[in-house]
Structure 1
Amino acid sequence: MASAVDSKSMKFILNTGHAMPAVGLGTYRMRDQAEVLEVVDHALSAGYRMFDTAAVYRNESFLKEAFRILLPRYDLDRDDIFITTKLSPSEHGRPGAIEKAYSASLQNLGTDYIDMYLVHFPGTPKYSIDDKKNTELRHATWESMVELYDRGIVNGIGVSNFTNYHLELLMERNHGVVPAINQVEWHPFYYQMELLDYCKANDIVLQAYCSLGGKSVSNNELLLHPSVTKIAVTLGVTNAQVLLKWALEHNVAIIPKSTNPVHIKQNITLNFDMSPEDMRVLDNLSNKNSVKYAWDPRGVV
């Protein structure tokens, strides 16, 4: 990760050679055209240049319209932003399905290429999590993703919600392309240093979602935790900023989601230092409050 004081300009250099902004905007549950337009407007104004979506979010076409209207307004081109989207788990392994799904996302987003295309989940709804067909479908899916990458029609491919187990199986098959990123739930109540270490050792960038804990499911236990509040007050920043900065300090990329203009700006304004003691306090929160709020890939064979 390149060092930079301004969090708006922080980048991760991917194993593809491309640079990915360290801070992006998540768009989970943004399913209204007017809302997406307003949020993207605030995000571009605040300095965001990375936007994360997925086929299952059903808002790719809303982003297309927002980019069509707003990029010229900010004197930006398509190449000035980084777009990530994800393959639906229901498409795993089916012949021709991955290329068809990718083409649909291209059309929905109104672009000739996607910067990062992810396998959204290691399992598929077709089979129970303990069915070994998940493994074979996952490898078939990755082979198709590699074909897209080798043909040069996607800038990078990666995975989401993969555990060490899933990554190790993928690497053992030696498909020829290592995932550029692994996007997972990551916050002080739930994180796995062994996963981060594995990703670092294999030149895979770890990217966090649910950085604020269970806020998306109306659970503010982490966000309002006394330890988080104490650090925030001392530093003169918000609790959310503390949690986001914690991830960046671990060299983990972030994609905070907000529809609030003030929060959107705050979430990318992370130009402050956290002490080793602050980091230690937050690291230790998982020892007493380990809890996962989102999609759980554990147990998927």
Structure 2
Amino acid sequence: MSDPRHSVLLNTGSRMPLLGLGTGQLRGLENLMPAVDAALAAGYHQFDTAAVYRNEVELGQALRELLPKHGLERADIFITSKLAPRDQGPMAPAACQRSLDQLGLEYIDLFLVHEPGTEGLRVEDPQNSVNRAQSWTALEEFLSRGKFRAIGVSNYIVRHLEELFASCKVPPAVLQVEFHPRLAQTELRALCAQRSVCFEAYSPLGTGALLSDPVVLEVAKGCGRTAAQVLLRWAVQQGIPVIPKSSNPSRVRENAQLFDFELSQEDMDRLTGLDCGQRFDPEDPSLVA
């Protein structure tokens, strides 16, 4: 599917590319087609969507139209989608099938529970935990049927992960959470390493806020790279997959230029030193029961 040097081995035995295109807020073919086209041309092999992004249909169409142009087949790419918070619990099986149908796929490479909470429930409601367990059972069923090749979770904290480990038949292959130099997620990463769960980063640029950070800019100037490239390289150099999102084809291409340079240990340490626990995602998963 992709160069093994540019991918990580999941606990399923399959490989996931280190670089993917995030498609949150990319709606409509007029926005998706140029971004996906640029991504495929630049060597991206992972595309990340979700039911809540409301673009599964368009992403599926874009990939069907563009893969032949770039000499690629379905097996050459890795597609991730996610269960919407509104579909947690009893509605999960129908929602899993809906994502397959919307994307127009026989299988999805990775399917995640998007949030630990359920839309419409208060964060402290214990039903959130019950619904998570039901959702996971649905994902395990689709995995057993070959409809999902790997399953995982997003926005879980240590407590949610440990609850899942205690009850699941199949452990998660991936945890996808916000991660960047200001939010190093040390405890979560340690648990993932201990349990052979791939730790994946969304918002690796801090929703753009880190692109003007003085330390990031100094490191970028020192190695002749852009701030975005430095931030993404900081993650992938630690073996952490990243899914930056952009609708701008030139930025999509720029973000792909990660594998022809390395950051020095000094620069890695300077970036790691920015950790202050700052979240840019307004939802705080630690509040969810």
Q: TM-score range by the shorter chain?
A: over 0.9
Q: Name the SS for the 1:266 alignment partner.
A: helix
The Cα of 1:3 is off from its aligned counterpart by 9.4
Secondary structure at the aligned position of 1:285 is classed as coil
What secondary structure does 1:117 align onto?
A: strand
| Match of residue 213 from structure 1 | 206
Query: Which stretch shifts more, 127-136 or 115-124?
Result: 127-136
Does residue 261 of the first structure (1) align with residue 257 of the second (2)? no
Q: Assess if the C-alpha contact under 8 Å between 2:96 and 2:139 holds in 1.
A: no
Aligned to 1:176: 169
Q: State the 1:258 CA deviation.
A: 1.1
1:35 equivalenced with 2:22 (yes/no): no
CA-based RMSD: 1.4
1:12 corresponds in structure 2 to 8
Q: Which residue of 2 aligns with 1:245?
A: 233
Q: Secondary structure at the match of 1:223?
A: helix
Unaligned 5+ segments in structure 2 are none
TM-score, reference length from structure 2:
0.96
Among 269, 275, 280, the residue aligned to 2:269? 280
Residue number among 68, 72, 95 corresponding to 2:68 in the alignment:
72
TM-score by length of 1: 0.92
Runs of 4+ in structure 1 deviating by more than 3 angstroms, as ranges, are none
1:184-213 deviation line (CA, Å, top 9, x unaligned): 000111121111111011110011011111
Percent of aligned pairs with the same residue?
43
Counterpart-to-counterpart distance in 1, 2:136 and 2:93: 12
Partner Cα distance (1:299, 1:250) in 2: 29
**Is the Cα–Cα contact under 8 Å of residues 237 and 262 in structure 2 kept in the other structure?**
no
In 2, distance between residues paired with 1:102 and 1:125? Answer: 17
Superimposed CA distance per residue, residues 135-194 of structure 1 (whole angstroms, 9 cap, x where no aligned partner): 111111111111111222210110000111100011112x22110100000011112111
Cα-to-partner distance string for 1:112-153 (whole Å, 9 max, x where unaligned):
110000000000122111111111111111111111112222
Q: 1:235 aligns with which of 223, 226, 229?
A: 223
- Alignment partners' CA distance in 1, 2:97 and 2:162: 29
Gaps of 5+ in 1: none
Is the partner of 2:212 in helix, strand or coil?
A: coil
Q: Do the aligned partners of residues 3 and 85 (structure 1) sit closer, same or farther apart at CA in structure 2, a change above 3 Å counting?
A: closer
- The residue that corresponds to 2:21 in the other structure is 25
Match of 2:95 in 1: 101
Aligned mates of 1:259, 1:89 — CA distance in 2 = 25
In the alignment, residue 200 of structure 1 is paired with which amino acid? A
User: May I ask how many residue pairs the two structures share in their alignment?
Assistant: 286
Is the aligned partner of 1:48 residue 2:44? yes
CA contact (8 A) 2:40 2:70 kept: yes
- Distance between the aligned counterparts of 1:64 and 1:250, measured in 2? 31
